[in-house]
Structure 1
Amino acid sequence: MTDGGEDASGLRADARRNRRMVIDAARETIAERGADAPLEEIARRAGVGIATLYRRFPDRLSLVRAVAEDNMRVFGEEAERAQAEEPDPWRALTRVCHAAVERRVGMLLPSMLPHLREALSEHGTLWKRRAEVVGRLEGLLAEAQREGLVRGDIGLGDLLLGIVKLARPLPGMDAELDGEAAHRQLALYLEGLQAARPGPGAHRPRTIADVDRELGI
Structure 2
Amino acid sequence: MTDTWLADTRTSYDTVAVSYAEHMIGSLDGAPYLRAALALFADLVDRAGGGPVADVGCGPGHVTAHLAGLGVDAFGIDLSPAMVEVARRDHPGLRFEVGTMTALDLPDADLAGLLAFWSLVHVPEPEVPAILREFHRVVRPGGPVLLGFHVGDRAKHKTEGYGGHPMNVYVYRRPLARVSGWLRDAGFTVEAEMLLEPDDPPPGGILIARA
Fold equivalence (TM over 0.5)? no
Structure number with larger C-alpha Rg: 1
TM-score (norm 1): 0.28
Larger helix proportion, structure 1 or 2?
Answer: 1
